[in-house]
Amino acid sequence: MDAADARDPTRVEGSATGQASARRMPPSSQEAALLDAAEELFYEEGYQAVGMDRLRTASGVPLKRIYGLFPGKEAVAVAMLDRRDARWRGALDTHVRRHEDPHRRVLAVYDWLEERLVGPGHRGCAWINAFGELGGTSEPVAEAVRRHKASFRRDLGVLVAEAGASTATADAIHLLAEGLLVTGGIVGDARAVARTAAEAREAADRLLQSTAAGSRIAGL
């Protein structure tokens, strides 16, 4: 790195044309900028519809450096999915733990998913979409999707266990969440997403109640 960076290490964009530039950006910021652009563009348009050139333009990271950071486009996609996984599940955890009641926490999962699904430009679950596009041709991407889905399922299992419900109920809570994710992504408009989320939440509530009722009947 050079003296200019030392003088202004916060400098991130500097092009006169207004497009992002990675000039003098430290490598870690460049990687972040690249993954930011990849996350947004791949999510909105798909993986194959976005070329490396658009990633370069949107992130301001030169092609030469992109290929210095990652061996190829596929690796960028995997890194993006993994980074998103950490952030996504962290945000979900933060959201649900704002509630004290363990039962309410489980239902709050659906609130959070609904919020995520109705935003502008949203197109469902990034991992489901990635699997749909690349699951058949890219094993690394397929594995990243399986990692995320397994982690999500595990996280839900913990929440449901804390609510005192059975593992069978946890399984159902998970399938309802996946059903909401895929259906909410496809239907498109916000009203339908809200309706679908309400359906999932109500079904989850019924299953949690019936577990509790069963437990009471069994004297647990």
Partner DNA sequence: TTGACTGGAGAACGTTCGTTCTCTAGTCTA
Partner DNA sequence: TAGACTAGAGAACGAACGTTCTCCAGTCAA
Residues at the site binding DNA, with contacts judged by CB under 7 A: 1-6, 15, 21-25, 30, 48-53, 60, 62-65, 67, 72-74
Smallest distance, DNA to C-beta of residue 22, A: 6
Binding mask of the shown chain, residues 170 to 209, with x at each position contacting a copy of itself by CB under 8 A: -xx-xxxxxxxxxx-xxxx-------x--xx-xx--xx--
Among the residue ranges 7-15, 25-33, 67-75, 140-148, the one whose residues contact a copy of itself (CB under 8 A): 140-148
**What's the distance, CA 184 to chain centroid?**
14
Handedness of CA 82, 138, 181, 50 (dihedral sign): positive
Distance of CA 115 to the CA centre of its chain: 13
CA distances from 119 to 27, 49, 82, 123, 201 (A): 31, 22, 22, 9, 19
* Binding map of a copy of itself across residues 74-113, x = CB under 8 A, - = no contact: ----------------------------------------
Residue found by looking up tokens 């992002």 in the block: 20
User: What three-state secondary structure class fits 60?
Assistant: coil
Q: 145 with 131: CB under 8 angstroms?
A: yes
Write out the residues near a copy of itself by the rule CB under 8 A: 44-46, 48-49, 123-124, 127-137, 142, 145-146, 149, 168-169, 171-172, 174-183, 185-188, 196, 199-200, 202-203, 206-207, 210
